[in-house]
Structure 1
Amino acid sequence: MPSVTRHRSLLSVLAIALGLVAPMAAARAQGPVLAGVVRPPRPAPGVNTIAEVEPRVARPPGRPCVAPLFAPRQFEGVEPVAFSYAPPADCPGPWAKVVLEADFDVTAGRQFDRTAIIHLGGVNLYYGTTMEPRRAIAPAWHVERDVTDYAALLARPGAGEVLIANIVNETYTGRLTASACLLFYPASTGAPVSTAPQIVQPISDGLAKLSKDQDRLARSVVLPTNVERLVLDVIAQGQADDEFWYDCVPDALASEKEGRCGGGAFRQVEVFVDGQRAGLAALFPWVFTGGINPYLWFPVPAPETLNFTPSRVDLTPFAGLMNDGLPHRIEVAVPGVRNYYLVTATLLAWRDERAASTSGRLLRNTLGAAREKTEARRVRTDQQGLNGRIVTRRAQDGEVAGVLQTSHGEVVTAVRYAMSFSNRQDYVSNDKVQIGRVRQSTRMRILTRRTDASGTVKRLETASYPLNTVTRETATPEGTDQTADVDLTLARTEREVSSDGRIRFRSLSNRVTPTARGQFNRTARRFQNASGTSVQRFRFEDSELGCYGRTVVVKDNAVAAARDGC
């Protein structure tokens, strides 16, 4: 399990994940461009290291300037590694796009999946986890992230850190190597300057550790008096027991001895401004390559496992309150956390450059706490473990709206949230078999309306994260026969209606359905005769760009087939 010692609007999210801009001219070969999307290399039959489905970041035309962050190096130990950064002298900006590229590999052997993080000046540039190797399998992989919105930070020299806490010893022998750089694409006639925020301010200064409900990442900020748009990029990653939050139980049923984590089976991100609940972000149930059963995830990891997408929380309704030149407190919380979460957050602000100051007020804030209901009355515990059913439900909604007087008139921004969550856990435990079933659904709906003199722009974002898992352990004289089945989907859509009635629609779906079988030998402390099968289906559709899809079929933990097409 990963830990530091172990194991945007959706438009922005999709742009980060898919690079929805003009085709790249070529920084490095990354496959042909199809419908505005850069396909990753298609895995050949027999590949057992890693099979990619998620597109690379597309690029503007022109040759980029490259600024290294750190050269290839091996990571061993738990201390972060510092690096110095300087923007490329031959590309002073402004830029059309900036892309982070990082490459990783791990030697064959035995090793946990590890958390991997790159920060610059306290601002997160990359966050993900690493692949687990096998005795004769050494995975190598490439990740990319669109960091154009952080251009104000990247325009000046700075100090950064990379953290890949990897323990190497006689048992855990896999050695991790990584490198990273930034690619700057100059603006041109065909690639206009990005409208990036002028203010990029870390809230977490790297990472914050939240260990209980009451813990919050908090920072007081002082903004310029002419801010007209404000967002917060957040990533929250469960560590240790909270890595498996979807299988955690109410505190009354938790048992450290039996390995049952507490806090219940619900987690999400809540953002506060000056003590007021200001926004929400649904947490995708990331499953890392050592999660549940390692044979589920190679060569096809679960969605976003190697490269997390930040959640972007729109705080523009509070801009009128925060433009007074005084300190204001930003807080991030993860309800339900019991072991710990690592959280990183960055505040981004766009200024009204034609006005020395903007003024406004919060019109309304009806975003309340989650309504919760948990039923566990028929659950019993004994020496064998849990028996019975636990049902957890959460619902939360409300609207935050504010008005701002700008150089181009009055602007009203309203953000309405509707979240629903359900999780059903069924357990059978006796001296012959242990069965655990989880059936979970997370849904988030965010409607943003921006009204000014030209009319109203509406953007509806939806996120749906269904997760179903079944694990079975049957006792044998040597240990246990184990099976694991997972059905996990990351689905996001966006529908935007402009002030003149034009409609643009985008959707992304990434579904993986792996099954693992094997025997766990108690004496050897390892799986034997283990193998996995899987099908992963990725589909992206844009009403203007077209459609991209890839399906990868895995048998005996090797690619059996890979095909592209919607």
Structure 2
Amino acid sequence: MRSCFASHPVIIFSSILLSSLLSTSATAAALPPGFTLGSANVAIADPAVPRPSSQPCTVVLFSNQQFADFNNHSFNYAPPAACPGPWSKVVLEVDLSINAGNQYDRTAHIWLGGVNIYTGTTEEPSATVARNWHVERDITDYSALLNAAQQGSVDLGNIVNSTYTGILQGTATLQLYPAVPGFKPARTPDVVYPMSASATGGAVALNTTTDQLTQTITFPRNVERAFIDVLAQGQSGDEFWYTCVPNALSSQLQSCGSTAFREAEISIDGQAAGVAPVYPWIFTGGIDPLLWRPTPGVQTLNLLPYRVDISPFAAQLSNGQSHTVAISVYNANNYFLASGAVLVYRDPKTVQVTGALTSNTLAAIVAPTINNQLVTDSQGNVTGTLTTSSKRNFKIAGYIQTSHGRIDTMVTQNMHYQNKQAFTINSSDYVQNISQQTEVETDTGVFSNGSEAHEHHHANFPLTMNINYATPPGQPVTQATTVVQAFDNSNWLALNGWMIYQSEVHNKVSPSDTLNFDASGNFTGNSGQQSVQKYTFTDSTGSCYKRTVTSSAGLLTAVTDGKDCRGNQNAPRWFVDPYGIALPDLSTLNMYR
């Protein structure tokens, strides 16, 4: 559960107070598909998961489940007899709603066989407006979980009483698409292992750098490739980690501590094995709840994992012994919720894979650099900048002997992080302007039988946040906030120097709002609220998806679809990933080129 109070003085205004004082009216006008101009309901630009033309089988995981306490709610899954695998696509659909009233945002998890198949945060209602929303996740890579009956659970803790009256309700289904006639199904991982608190799931709270989510696994003896999907979400004292400062400056700057740098670190048997950047997700009640109505932040309703390639360790994992895989968060400060999954591809024609890890230059921990350019005058007024930076450059390489020869894999990763905060603190103003950049360049080279393949991923997570809290003595108080939050990702696949596939994802949300209070601190309303979300996906197969959602004063004002796509129509091909997590299967790609 998120904290009801934030550590930063600017981020303390209760969304309960705001929602109880606000009422929203809308003049509804139909706007297909699925949007209504003038509506205060949730409006996001994210694409639905592209689907094949085959008719899916629907499996209901839970239906109209109410969430009004902190109990886990279990369900049972059984594979549909009418749609036996392998499937061309598996899509998780989740529909959630909340009645009008007062409520905080909450974190939701869905677990199947102990594996996290969905994480998201919830919308907040207002005093007069209920909200509902629909999210989807492509879980085709988790198909190995779905071949047999599994126990699942949904975890969405929520307080309901005379003050917090918002009751959450949800339904989740799996859509399993049979193989398309004439087309080979994409190859998916042969085994999926949970990274969770128990056999039935559960995220693990990481309160410090040394805390770990661990899983002890005895892998099959023929591991060919392996990956870890990592989810790490800041909660409580770490909810606004990107606003934090070094502990020694925390009191002076009235901010949370442990610096503004976090990263997820992967280890195998205690050896550093990979790094995942932490995305700066923002809850729908974060900073100013009215910023996120009707459009929440990037991925807020549907947190997507970061995939780490651990294939250089394949020979070590295949030795028949148990191995401990761990996730930690550097500088965690009470706390991060961590979970994930280990995905394994096997060599079906070899009982025992042999080989070795040949190189690993990844250091376990690299402390960030702090550049303090703050100046404090004789009256205690503070001005200047504080910059937190981190750089990583490493290579991890290994080889295996398989049924089709020796395979060498080298993962090269360059990471650059910078968070620059400009402060102005005096008797009438508290200004904190944040410019953060997280950039990751990863290349996986696979060398086998004279062929050379490269999977290249470039991720960029820019965040700009300008917060001006004006408190002139004896005068009305205002908090003006502007945010620009983005997820930029590009992937490409090359074989023997020839580009086989390329894709780009750009998802940006840019809201602004001003909260107004009287001289006694009573909320009197807001002004200037507006938001724009732009989502773009294009790839080298001709896929194109572009949508822009615009709102003002908390109401939807415009939706633009397909601009500059062929025929101004959105047309992502069914086998692609418009979210940027993974590359499509090469065998499927070849059939469509």
User: 1:41-74: CA deviations, max 9, x gaps?
Assistant: 3634212212121110111222111111111121
TM-aligned CA deviation for residue 395 of structure 1: 0.3
Mapped to 2, the partners of 1:173 and 1:231 lie a distance apart of: 42
Counterpart in 2 of 1:143? Answer: 135
**Structure 1's 162 and 394: CA in aligned 2 closer, same or farther, altered over 3 A?**
same
Q: What fraction of aligned residue pairs are identical, expressed as a percent?
A: 38
Counterpart in 1 of 2:353? Answer: 358
Mapped to 2, the partners of 1:246 and 1:220 lie a distance apart of: 32
3-state secondary structure, aligned to 1:378: strand
Counterpart in 1 of 2:179? Answer: 187
Contact 1:6–1:167 (Cα < 8 Å) also in 2: no
The yes-or-no answer on 1:218 pairing with 2:214 is: yes
User: 1:268-291: CA deviations, max 9, x gaps?
Assistant: 111111222111111221112111
The yes-or-no answer on 1:494 pairing with 2:491 is: yes
Mapped to 2, the partners of 1:121 and 1:383 lie a distance apart of: 60
TM-aligned CA deviation for residue 5 of structure 1: 8.6
**Structure 1's 389 and 4: CA in aligned 2 closer, same or farther, altered over 3 A?**
closer
* Unmatched segments (≥5 aa) in structure 2: 7-31, 565-593
Mapped to 1, the partners of 2:465 and 2:175 lie a distance apart of: 40
3-state secondary structure, aligned to 1:321: helix
Mapped to 1, the partners of 2:427 and 2:51 lie a distance apart of: 58
TM-aligned CA deviation for residue 446 of structure 1: 0.2
**Structure 1's 482 and 357: CA in aligned 2 closer, same or farther, altered over 3 A?**
same
TM-aligned CA deviation for residue 372 of structure 1: 2.5
Mapped to 1, the partners of 2:401 and 2:553 lie a distance apart of: 62
TM-score by length of 2: 0.85
Counterpart in 1 of 2:274? Answer: 279
User: 1:52-102: CA deviations, max 9, x gaps?
Assistant: 211101112221111111111210112221222222232232222211111
Contact 2:2–2:106 (Cα < 8 Å) also in 1: yes
TM-aligned CA deviation for residue 371 of structure 1: 5.5
Counterpart in 1 of 2:409? Answer: 413
Mapped to 2, the partners of 1:264 and 1:306 lie a distance apart of: 27
Counterpart in 1 of 2:441? Answer: 445
Where do residues 262-301 of structure 1 align in structure 2 (5 Å cutoff)?
262-301=257-296
Mapped to 2, the partners of 1:161 and 1:527 lie a distance apart of: 42
Aligned residue type for 1:63:
Q
Out of 490-499 and 42-51, give the one that drifted further. Answer: 42-51
User: 1:119-146: CA deviations, max 9, x gaps?
Assistant: 1121001001011111222111111111
Contact 2:513–2:526 (Cα < 8 Å) also in 1: no
Q: 2:553 aligns with which of 544, 553, 556?
A: 556
Out of 42-51 and 95-104, give the one that drifted further. Answer: 42-51
3-state secondary structure, aligned to 1:177: strand
The yes-or-no answer on 1:246 pairing with 2:242 is: yes
TM-score by length of 1: 0.89
Contact 1:4–1:164 (Cα < 8 Å) also in 2: no
Contact 2:100–2:166 (Cα < 8 Å) also in 1: yes
Mapped to 2, the partners of 1:526 and 1:80 lie a distance apart of: 36
Aligned residue type for 1:3:
R
TM-aligned CA deviation for residue 436 of structure 1: 1.0
Counterpart in 2 of 1:76? Answer: 68
User: 1:373-392: CA deviations, max 9, x gaps?
Assistant: 10236355999886542111
Mapped to 2, the partners of 1:287 and 1:522 lie a distance apart of: 29
3-state secondary structure, aligned to 1:72: strand
Out of 366-375 and 503-512, give the one that drifted further. Answer: 366-375
TM-aligned CA deviation for residue 502 of structure 1: 3.5
Mapped to 2, the partners of 1:456 and 1:83 lie a distance apart of: 45
Mapped to 2, the partners of 1:283 and 1:142 lie a distance apart of: 24
Q: 2:124 aligns with which of 129, 132, 138?
A: 132
Mapped to 1, the partners of 2:382 and 2:134 lie a distance apart of: 41
TM-aligned CA deviation for residue 190 of structure 1: 4.1
TM-aligned CA deviation for residue 307 of structure 1: 0.4
3-state secondary structure, aligned to 2:240: helix
Counterpart in 1 of 2:568? Answer: none
Q: 1:95 aligns with which of 82, 87, 90?
A: 87
**Structure 1's 308 and 384: CA in aligned 2 closer, same or farther, altered over 3 A?**
farther
User: 1:333-352: CA deviations, max 9, x gaps?
Assistant: 11011110000021111111
Mapped to 1, the partners of 2:97 and 2:381 lie a distance apart of: 39
3-state secondary structure, aligned to 1:318: helix
Counterpart in 2 of 1:506? Answer: 503
Contact 1:512–1:537 (Cα < 8 Å) also in 2: yes
Mapped to 2, the partners of 1:313 and 1:560 lie a distance apart of: 39
Aligned residue type for 1:312:
R
Mapped to 2, the partners of 1:397 and 1:167 lie a distance apart of: 45
Contact 1:371–1:396 (Cα < 8 Å) also in 2: no
Mapped to 2, the partners of 1:99 and 1:4 lie a distance apart of: 32
3-state secondary structure, aligned to 1:253: helix
Contact 2:226–2:311 (Cα < 8 Å) also in 1: yes
Counterpart in 2 of 1:343? Answer: 338
Mapped to 2, the partners of 1:379 and 1:154 lie a distance apart of: 59
Counterpart in 2 of 1:157? Answer: 149
Q: 1:63 aligns with which of 47, 50, 55?
A: 55
3-state secondary structure, aligned to 1:58: coil
Out of 123-132 and 259-268, give the one that drifted further. Answer: 259-268
User: 1:505-554: CA deviations, max 9, x gaps?
Assistant: 11010112111012146878656244511122111110112322112222
Mapped to 2, the partners of 1:545 and 1:241 lie a distance apart of: 44
3-state secondary structure, aligned to 2:35: coil
Mapped to 2, the partners of 1:494 and 1:444 lie a distance apart of: 12
Mapped to 2, the partners of 1:393 and 1:502 lie a distance apart of: 34
Out of 193-202 and 412-421, give the one that drifted further. Answer: 193-202
Mapped to 2, the partners of 1:248 and 1:172 lie a distance apart of: 29
TM-aligned CA deviation for residue 427 of structure 1: 1.6
Aligned residue type for 1:60:
P
Counterpart in 1 of 2:569? Answer: none
Mapped to 2, the partners of 1:344 and 1:262 lie a distance apart of: 24
Aligned residue type for 2:277:
A
Contact 1:98–1:146 (Cα < 8 Å) also in 2: yes
Mapped to 2, the partners of 1:112 and 1:512 lie a distance apart of: 21
Contact 1:317–1:403 (Cα < 8 Å) also in 2: yes
3-state secondary structure, aligned to 1:246: helix
Aligned residue type for 2:179:
A
Q: 2:478 aligns with which of 456, 476, 481?
A: 481
Q: 2:161 aligns with which of 169, 176, 180?
A: 169
The yes-or-no answer on 1:314 pairing with 2:313 is: no
Out of 244-253 and 376-385, give the one that drifted further. Answer: 376-385
**Structure 1's 450 and 519: CA in aligned 2 closer, same or farther, altered over 3 A?**
same
The yes-or-no answer on 1:227 pairing with 2:227 is: no
TM-aligned CA deviation for residue 431 of structure 1: 2.0
Mapped to 2, the partners of 1:378 and 1:59 lie a distance apart of: 53
Mapped to 1, the partners of 2:374 and 2:507 lie a distance apart of: 35
TM-aligned CA deviation for residue 6 of structure 1: 9.3
3-state secondary structure, aligned to 2:237: helix
Aligned residue type for 1:137:
V
**Structure 1's 527 and 219: CA in aligned 2 closer, same or farther, altered over 3 A?**
farther
Mapped to 1, the partners of 2:550 and 2:162 lie a distance apart of: 35
3-state secondary structure, aligned to 1:165: coil
Mapped to 1, the partners of 2:497 and 2:423 lie a distance apart of: 54
Mapped to 1, the partners of 2:333 and 2:117 lie a distance apart of: 27
TM-aligned CA deviation for residue 500 of structure 1: 6.5
* Unmatched segments (≥5 aa) in structure 1: 8-39
Aligned residue type for 1:552:
V
Mapped to 1, the partners of 2:349 and 2:5 lie a distance apart of: 50
Counterpart in 2 of 1:37? Answer: none
The yes-or-no answer on 1:119 pairing with 2:111 is: yes
Aligned residue type for 1:441:
Q
The yes-or-no answer on 1:397 pairing with 2:396 is: no
Q: How many pairs were matched up?
A: 532
Counterpart in 2 of 1:515? Answer: 512
Aligned residue type for 2:339:
T
**Structure 1's 143 and 244: CA in aligned 2 closer, same or farther, altered over 3 A?**
same
Aligned residue type for 2:554:
N
